[in-house]
Amino acid sequence: MQGEHVPIVFFPRFSTFAGAAGKYYTQPVDMLGFETASITVFRGMITGGGGPTVAFEFEQSTDLIEWESMGPPFDPSSAGNVPATQQVGLPIARRYVRLYVVLGGADPVITLFAIGWAARTEQ
């Protein structure tokens, strides 16, 4: 049985990234005392040169130094460059969780957010 649901924000509504391809990380979120999380990831259209791309990936860690993937990178839009959302369920196995977005191409511009809730471990 799950306990209380607590809001969680990785990228606030609405975050815009512009100008440089690369990997952008959220701050780690301390998930001690939580067993699951449900996160809604939204991505708008991506513009830029050189075939701009976007991918998201969740990672977890026990010590904030060594990070391991919580699943393969994903793009909420399976229909090409259209705005889309994806609901992601995360079983919490480590103390810290973070999300990163990878932008590719020349001068990419995208608006996105990643918000949801975490369920406390039932005592």
Domain ranges of the chain: 2-121
- Is this structure's pTM higher than 0.85? yes
The whole-number pLDDT of residue 123 equals: 64
Q: Which residues contact 79 (CB under 8 A, 6 or more apart)?
A: none
Q: What is the CATH number of domain 2-121?
A: 2.60.120.260
Q: Which tokens belong to 73?
A: 């990178």
Q: Which tokens belong to 36?
A: 């699951």
Q: Mean pLDDT score of the chain, rounded to an integer?
A: 92
Q: Which tokens belong to 108?
A: 């990419």
Q: Which residues contact 10 (CB under 8 A, 6 or more apart)?
A: 26, 29, 39, 98, 99, 114, 115
Q: What is the per-residue pLDDT across 12-62, written as a single tens digit (0 to 9) for each?
A: 999 999 988 999 999 999 999 999 999 999 999 999 988 889 999 999 999
The whole-number pLDDT of residue 77 equals: 84
The whole-number pLDDT of residue 2 equals: 59
